[in-house]
Amino acid sequence: MLIHRLCLLPPAISNHKPVPVTSSFVQRFPTLASGRPRRPMFKFCRARRRVIRYEEDNNVEEEEEEEEEEEHGYNAEIAMLESYTESARSEVLLVRATVDGAVEQVLIFKGYSSCLSSRTAIDPSKSVLPAKAIIQSIDVIKGPFDPSCIEYLQKGLTLDEFIVRSKGKLRK
């Protein structure tokens, strides 16, 4: 009696040669009538580890979150650009800003912003850029955004130029 090794291809196509089956193999791995091996009958213990939380740990986590919020802050300019894209649904904004000397890129579309050069916070109520960020330029792109084929409507606008350009749609 021969049995094929377990492989994804049918025996006629696979390169594996049949392996002779010994009696000890059959005893260790009995098969069903269909030829499939039986699953071993184990009883699983479904014990779960208890999570113990201490007040000290909670206070430390809360302090860290408060420090992060103070450091990150609320950016009114980004919020203004997000509100603009809610009304101008066919436009995408690519914003370049500097934060502590590092260049950050933010993509804003339909009222949502996402940081392309670093991680974006999971919480949508948090600003993508900190309050101390300085917006260098804004590119207006035809939406919906396709990174393989970017069609610029306007490129390299300053924040002031963008505000003048979009008077009717801009809400502060």
Alpha-carbon distances of 47 from 40, 42, 44, 53, 119, rounded to whole Å: 21, 15, 9, 19, 36
How many Cβ atoms are within 10 Å of 141's Cβ, its own excluded? 19
Reduced to 3 states (helix: H, G, I; strand: E, B; else coil), residue 115 is strand
**Residue 41 maps to a domain:** no
**The pLDDT value given to residue 96:** 94
What phi and psi, each to the nearest 5 degrees, are found at residue 12?
Answer: -70, -30
Domain hosting residue 124, numbered range: 75-165
**The pLDDT value given to residue 93:** 92
* Number of structural domains found in the chain: 1
C-beta of residue 106 within 8 angstroms of C-beta of residue 97: yes
pLDDT tens readout for residues 84-108: 888 888 899 999 999 888 899 999 8
Q: Using 70 as the pLDDT threshold, list the residues of the chain that sit under it.
A: 1-73, 168-172
**Residue 48 maps to a domain:** no
Q: Output the pTM of the full model.
A: 0.56
**Residue 31 maps to a domain:** no
**Residue 157 maps to a domain:** yes
Q: Which residue has the tokens 């009717």?
A: 168
**Residue 129 maps to a domain:** yes
**Residue 2 maps to a domain:** no
pLDDT tens readout for residues 12-21: 554 555 555 5
Provide the H-helix boundaries in the chain: 23-28, 55-72, 76-87, 159-165
